[in-house]
Structure 1
Amino acid sequence: MTAWIVLPVSLAAFSITGIWIVYAMAVMNHHVCPVENWFYNVTCSEETAKPGFPKTCCTIQDIPLISKCGSYPPESCLFSLIGNMGAFMVVMVCLLRYAQIIEHSHHCWTNTSGLVSGFCNALGLVMVGNFQVDHAKTLHYVGAGVAFPAGLLFVCLQCVLTYRVAITTLDYWMAHMRVALATGSLVSLVLSGIFFIHESFVLQHAAAICEWVFTVVILVFYGTFTYEFGTVTSETMLAGLQRNLPHGAGVILGGGSRGLGGGATKGLKSPGGSSTSTHLNCTPESIAMF
């Protein structure tokens, strides 16, 4: 077990807790209406809600979309922090997962695509968090248009990779669970997009709920990497670095060195366990340096 298991859990726990705190702050500050409210008006001539209580007169501008909850201070400050911190942790998770797949199998376009989609997801999160929808709508929508599809693509690719490196029965159960999460995220994102383009208050509100479901499911998916990250070691990072070094470059390990194409391969650990296996070949233990 390594300390890296904390990273995926921290990403999921910090982000999910943070966005719900942002939502609660927005409701209490009358910036959005509560998610259980389904009744909206074209205009509101009076506001009867008391300070510290939810709004009672709601318009389409008060629909509790995640972005809308983080549009105004003070909750916008926390929303930006969550976006930036979350993006950083997403990048770290994607890098570790990329290196781990290389360590357990081989370099493939699926793994590279997963890394790129994860980075795009992080970039979109930064834009969404720092450009609020009511103040920089175009940039905010560009960020959302990058973050949501990229996040969905990332989880789908990781489902494929999970099956590819699975060894034990528990590994396959994790793959099945991730497919269920990916399916839920796909359905919720599609429904959110369909509902969002309509002018109906009810459908707009349903779009907000689907958006919340999508976000939480994606974050839970990231949290499942705790299962594999218990086996991450320094060799995992070296596997990723070795693959990306220029031809002929290398790292000196221990007292000796071997050529890039030579040397014995090491036994592989189950992606989520501590036992070793020779199920697949991986990169050499050491590589030469000029």
Structure 2
Amino acid sequence: MCNCFKSIGLLPVFSCLIFLIGLILCYGLAFLNHHLTVVLPTISATGSMPPESCYFTFFLASAGFLLTLVCFIYHSYVVAVHQDGMANFIGLLSGVGSGIGLVLVASFQFKYVPILHYVGMGLACTGQLIFGWCVVAVSYQLAPKVHG
């Protein structure tokens, strides 16, 4: 196997870190610029005004892209180790849908385009929930084949 794939397992960690760094940075900027009206705002409220909206879009869209990439890599791994099953395919669709939803949340602010923002939020949350359960199901099926 190519040496470039040895640390591919860190990709989900980077995706989560980019997401968390973006949230913390946007909250800090919104707090320092007095753009928040409550102490614990919603995630989207921290990125609703410039300049934090620019960072919000960048970090969430980057995390959405990496999330989609992670889903494709996981799907390819399962196909290489095991035959392609329905749970793996549903996991791929829901994971990609979740990544697209995260990009929608990042791109369309709830103040100006609330419908697309909430559709993206629904896709991101529901897609991740379904993807997580599909990973559990596929891992349960793969355990005897991978670990003997």
* 2:50 aligned with 1:105: no
* 2:7 aligned with 1:3: yes
* 2:43 aligned with 1:22: no
CA distance in 2, matches of 1:110, 1:10: 25
Post-superposition shift, 1:88?
A: 1.1
Q: Secondary structure at the match of 1:117?
A: helix
AA in 1 matched with 2:14: S
Larger Rg: 1
CA distance in 1, matches of 2:68, 2:46: 25
Q: Secondary structure at the match of 1:166?
A: helix
Q: What does 1:267-282 align with in structure 2 at a 5 Å threshold?
A: 270=146, 279=148
RMSD over equivalenced CA pairs, Å = 1.6
Unaligned residue ranges in structure 1 (runs of 5+)? 36-63, 168-267, 271-276, 280-290
Q: What percent of counterpart residues are identical?
A: 31
Aligned residue among 81, 90, 95 for 1:118? 95
Post-superposition shift, 1:96?
A: 0.8
Post-superposition shift, 1:86?
A: 0.9
CA distance in 1, matches of 2:39, 2:25: 13
AA in 2 matched with 1:147: A
Q: Deviations over 1:157-205 (max 9, x none)?
A: 11111222125xxxxxxxxxxxxxxxxxxxxxxxxxxxxxxxxxxxxxx
Post-superposition shift, 1:3?
A: 2.7
CA distance in 1, matches of 2:31, 2:141: 45
What residue number does 1:31 align with?
A: 35
Post-superposition shift, 1:146?
A: 1.4
* 2:59 aligned with 1:79: no
CA distance in 1, matches of 2:78, 2:101: 24
CA distance in 1, matches of 2:85, 2:79: 8
What residue number does 1:185 align with?
A: none
Please say if residues 103 and 120 of structure 2, whose CA atoms lie closer than 8 Å, have aligned partners that are also in contact.
Answer: yes
Post-superposition shift, 1:21?
A: 1.4
CA distance in 2, matches of 1:107, 1:138: 35
Post-superposition shift, 1:12?
A: 1.3
Q: What does 1:80-159 align with in structure 2 at a 5 Å threshold?
A: 80-159=57-136
Please say if residues 19 and 59 of structure 2, whose CA atoms lie closer than 8 Å, have aligned partners that are also in contact.
Answer: yes
What residue number does 1:162 align with?
A: 139
CA distance in 2, matches of 1:166, 1:14: 30
Post-superposition shift, 1:2?
A: 0.4
Q: Deviations over 1:79-122 (max 9, x none)?
A: 10012111110111001100111122211110000000011001
